[in-house]
Amino acid sequence: MISDRIELRGFDEERLANLVGLAGTPGRGSSAAWAPGLVVVRSGHSVVKALHTTRGRLDPAAVSLDLDLPALASGHAARWVVVAEVAALGDAFEATAGRLMPGCDLVELMLELVRSLGAEVEAGRVAMWPALTEGVTVPDRSSVERAFDLVLPPQRSALLYVFDSDALHAEVICVRGLRDVELLAGHDALGVGPPPRDWRGRHKEVLDAIARNMEPPAVGAFLSLDAVRSLRDGLAPAGLSALVRSRELIIDPLPLWLSAPLGLAAARGALEAGRRTGSRLARAMDPHGRGARLADRLASAVKARVRSSEVAGQIEGAITQIGAGADLTSLLGFDPFALAGRLSALLRES
């Protein structure tokens, strides 16, 4: 899914750091503040090595396996901890290598490694806290490929633009060829000058430039840095619709697989489309425009009713259920948001 000859065009270390920073404490040109963790390698009941992700190597004698994992993490100022038997790591890597086929890519390698480590967790030879994989199905290759084709079809692009006020804070354009992702680009690669400062009103200029210079966008997200912080902090589905209504988040193009979590916005769009269609029909039947004005008044009344009644809440409740993963799980064979949400919560510093 990711070409071994992937091209980077106008996408440098600073842009990568800006994107990574969105998961932690954002700051242009700075890396994220990752939550500290503890990795312990043991042989039986003896600690062979211990590594703290921010303090470096620890004295094995200072790490006690008599503590439970939360206490062990707390004693070393860690947000997460992994304790693994030496032999378990070797067996996991050996099992991974044995299941791989010639020509596999990085995604397949990581899936097999996670699956092998999961087997060691079930066997009790690897322990982790929090239990990130509990209740989360590790997808197989075909499921990941279905998800990939759904999100980014062949010869299409996907993009993310994040703005701090009216200045571009972070961006990436991902372009897929017939099979794999072949290009990661920054905005400068478009050769059209800086992005519009009025990004809410003129974001389609960016979409047009990508379609002309690369591949037509399949999905695009334009949002403010404040919206990123809201999403990162575990925004409820109702809040997601609020971000769309306030245009702090613009999804354009909006693919079908994203329309469920943005249900109220989609419902309003449908009403607006119905109003325009009704007006056109009314004008066709009544060239003097009286029918068109009547259609406009009726459509406005319906929109007001949706806003002021329980209908909006009912729609949002249904959308919440769909957004919980039922449809995607049925379609893909796994819930792509479950583990991502856990990892996001774990890796945040605060």
Domain count, the chain: 3
pLDDT of residue 339: 56
- Per-position b or e across 53-78, b if 16+ CB within 10 A of its CB: eeeeebeeeebeeeeebeebbeebeb
Q: What is the pTM of this model?
A: 0.57
pLDDT of residue 288: 56
pLDDT of residue 168: 94
Assigned domain for 346 exists: no
Task: Give residues with Cβ within 8 angstroms of 149, minimum separation 6.
Answer: none
Assigned domain for 16 exists: yes
55/113 same-domain check: yes
Cα 318 to Cα 278, 305, 323: the distances in Å are 27, 18, 9
159/29 same-domain check: yes
Tokens (6 digits) for 258? 């994203």
Assigned domain for 330 exists: no
Contact 224, 202 (CB under 8 A): no
pLDDT of residue 187: 95
8/157 same-domain check: yes
Indicate if the pLDDT at residue 267 is higher than 70: no
Query: What value does the mean pLDDT take over residues 34-58?
Result: 88
Indicate if the pLDDT at residue 333 is higher than 80: no
- 3-state class (DSSP) for residue 282: helix
Assigned domain for 349 exists: no
Query: What value does the mean pLDDT take over residues 250-264?
Result: 70
Confidence band (pLDDT; 50, 70, 90) for 13? Answer: confident
pLDDT of residue 303: 53
pLDDT of residue 104: 60
pLDDT of residue 160: 94
Q: Which amino acid is at 181?
A: V
CA 141-143-149 angle, to 5 degrees, is: 100
1/39 same-domain check: no
Assigned domain for 270 exists: yes
pLDDT of residue 19: 85
Range of the domain at 176: 1-34+152-253
Query: What value does the mean pLDDT take over residues 97-114?
Result: 64
18/59 same-domain check: no
Q: Indicate the residue among 253, 283, 299 that finishes a domain.
A: 253
Q: How confident is the model over 189-240, as pLDDT tens digits?
A: 999 999 999 999 999 999 999 999 999 999 999 999 988 888 776 655 556 7
Indicate if the pLDDT at residue 25 is higher than 50: no
pLDDT of residue 271: 45
Confidence band (pLDDT; 50, 70, 90) for 61? Answer: very high
Indicate if the pLDDT at residue 295 is higher than 90: no
Q: Indicate the residue among 120, 142, 164 that finishes a domain.
A: 142
Q: Specify the CATH number for the domain of residue 227.
A: 3.30.1050
30/156 same-domain check: yes
Q: How confident is the model over 121-145, as pLDDT tens digits?
A: 778 888 888 876 566 666 667 777 7
Assigned domain for 321 exists: no
Q: What does the alpha-carbon distance between residue 61 and residue 263 come to, in Å, rounded to a whole number?
A: 55
Q: Secondary structure of the chain: what % helix, strand, coil (to 5)?
A: 50, 20, 30
pLDDT of residue 208: 96
27/167 same-domain check: yes
78 or 241, higher pLDDT: 78
Q: Indicate the residue among 86, 116, 142 that finishes a domain.
A: 142
41/82 same-domain check: yes
pLDDT of residue 199: 94
50/21 same-domain check: no
96/176 same-domain check: no
pLDDT of residue 325: 40
- 3-state class (DSSP) for residue 112: helix
75/128 same-domain check: yes
162/27 same-domain check: yes
84 or 286, higher pLDDT: 84
Assigned domain for 124 exists: yes
Assigned domain for 229 exists: yes
Confidence band (pLDDT; 50, 70, 90) for 92? Answer: confident
